[in-house]
């Protein structure tokens, strides 16, 4: 028994074809939107590629770009099919291919749904790549004279100013690395010598941060050095004086920014997916309704359209049986090939 059977006369078939034609061209526009979102996300990720550890984060924007292109192609073709469905002579050339096209549309919808899910699930991989990338970027902050790294200071400073953040997890991350280049250290100074000797790795570590960590909303001039020494500054307590610097780490700031972007893109992609599913269902009804026309010369006759020719359980059983037959035929072919090679070997 057919699933969700609907009766169609000529007027309903024409309205269905016209409605699907319009929906397909709207989906072409939706495909352009998805392509644009993927391109925008890719550009935004490339802007901060210096503080990202790998290229895995580009999987989602690349997928959105690809699905946007495929959406434009498939829906343009579907719009042409729906337009030709109004003319029996033109529809005849599409008839042998329409069933295969519907299978491709189903696969496309499945992939589009998975891409939408990836937009929501990408946060975990992005967090790990940002954590390692920011750590490396801070480590190379002082290498202003090293080719290939001389830009890192500017990159980190602009990042901290734009996103109002400091360090990887917080401003205290700067205490653990030497972010001042040896070029600007006076090695004849006793203070510098003592600091370097007191460190096992021979690094010049200070309880200070770069200028880009300063919060301009602070009521007092920015304090960058000796942040943990209360006696070095008048009326200062480093445990309560948090307005002087940006408290939030850059990893959390970037995660919040990219997370909101990808959540919005995931929601848009899900809406497009629902629209695509409705188009695929409509194409299936149009296909079966036109197939059910008993007399092609009598355009006014009624026909029946359905979603599945059999029930869900029967369709699933038929699908499993076809897979078994396919597996057996492949096995027989393999055995035949082995049997043919055996006499040759003898």
CB 61, CB 49: distance < 8 Å: no
Residue 155 CA to residue 153 CA, distance in Å, equals: 5
Q: What digits encode the pLDDT tens for the residues 57-116?
A: 788 999 999 999 999 999 999 888 888 877 777 777 877 788 888 889 999 999 999 999
Band of pLDDT at residue 345, cut at 50, 70 and 90: low
What percentage of residues in the chain have a pLDDT greater than 70?
81
Q: What digits encode the pLDDT tens for the residues 277-297?
A: 999 988 888 888 877 665 666
Query: Which residue has 């690349």 as its token pair?
Result: 62
pLDDT given for residue 156 in this prediction: 93
- The average confidence (pLDDT) of the chain is 83
Q: What digits encode the pLDDT tens for the residues 235-280?
A: 877 776 566 889 899 999 999 999 999 999 999 999 999 999 999 9
Residue 77 CA to residue 246 CA, distance in Å, equals: 53
Task: Read off the tokens for 223.
Answer: 């304090």
pLDDT given for residue 271 in this prediction: 96
* Full-model pTM: 0.79
Q: What digits encode the pLDDT tens for the residues 105-151?
A: 999 999 999 999 999 988 878 888 888 889 888 988 988 877 777 88
pLDDT at 343 over 60: no
Residue 210 CA to residue 224 CA, distance in Å, equals: 7
Residue 133 CA to residue 127 CA, distance in Å, equals: 10
Query: Mean per-residue pLDDT for 36-49?
Result: 91
Query: Mean per-residue pLDDT for 14-19?
Result: 87
pLDDT at 163 over 70: yes
pLDDT given for residue 346 in this prediction: 44
pLDDT at 200 over 80: no
């Amino acid at each position: 028994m057919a699933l969700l059977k609907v009766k169609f006369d000529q007027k309903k078939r024409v309205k269905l074809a016209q409605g699907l034609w319009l929906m397909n061209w709207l989906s072409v526009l939706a495909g352009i939107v998805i392509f644009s979102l993927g391109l925008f996300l890719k550009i935004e990720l490339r802007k901060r590629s210096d503080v990202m550890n790998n290229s895995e984060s580009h999987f989602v924007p690349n997928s959105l770009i690809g699905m946007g292109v495929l959406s434009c192609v498939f829906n343009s073709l579907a719009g042409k099919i729906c337009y030709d469905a109004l003319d029996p002579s033109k529809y005849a050339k599409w008839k042998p291919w329409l069933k295969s096209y519907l299978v491709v549309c189903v696969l496309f919808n499945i992939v589009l749904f998975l891409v939408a899910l990836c937009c929501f699930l990408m946060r975990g991989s992005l967090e790990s790549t940002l954590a390692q990338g920011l750590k490396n970027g801070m480590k190379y902050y002082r290498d202003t004279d090293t080719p290939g790294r001389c830009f890192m200071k500017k990159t980190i400073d602009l990042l901290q100013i734009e996103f109002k953040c400091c360090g990887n997890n917080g401003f205290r991350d700067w205490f653990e690395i030497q972010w001042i280049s040896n070029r600007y250290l006076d090695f004849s100074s006793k203070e510098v010598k003592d600091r370097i000797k007191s460190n096992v790795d021979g690094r010049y570590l200070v309880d200070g941060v770069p200028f880009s960590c300063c919060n301009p909303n602070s009521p007092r001039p920015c304090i960058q050095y000796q942040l943990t020494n209360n006696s070095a500054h008048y009326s200062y307590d480093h445990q309560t004086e948090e307005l002087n610097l940006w408290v939030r780490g850059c990893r959390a700031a970037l995660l919040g920014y990219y997370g909101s972007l990808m959540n919005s893109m995931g929601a848009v992609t899900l809406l497009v997916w629902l629209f695509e599913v409705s188009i695929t269902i409509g194409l299936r009804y149009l296909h079966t309704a036109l197939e059910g026309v008993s007399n092609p010369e009598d355009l006014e006759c009624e026909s029946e359209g359905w979603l599945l020719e059999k029930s869900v359980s029967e369709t699933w059983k038929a699908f499993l049986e076809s897979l078994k037959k396919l597996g057996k035929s492949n096995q027989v072919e393999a055995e035949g090939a082995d049997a043919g090679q055996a006499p040759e070997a003898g």
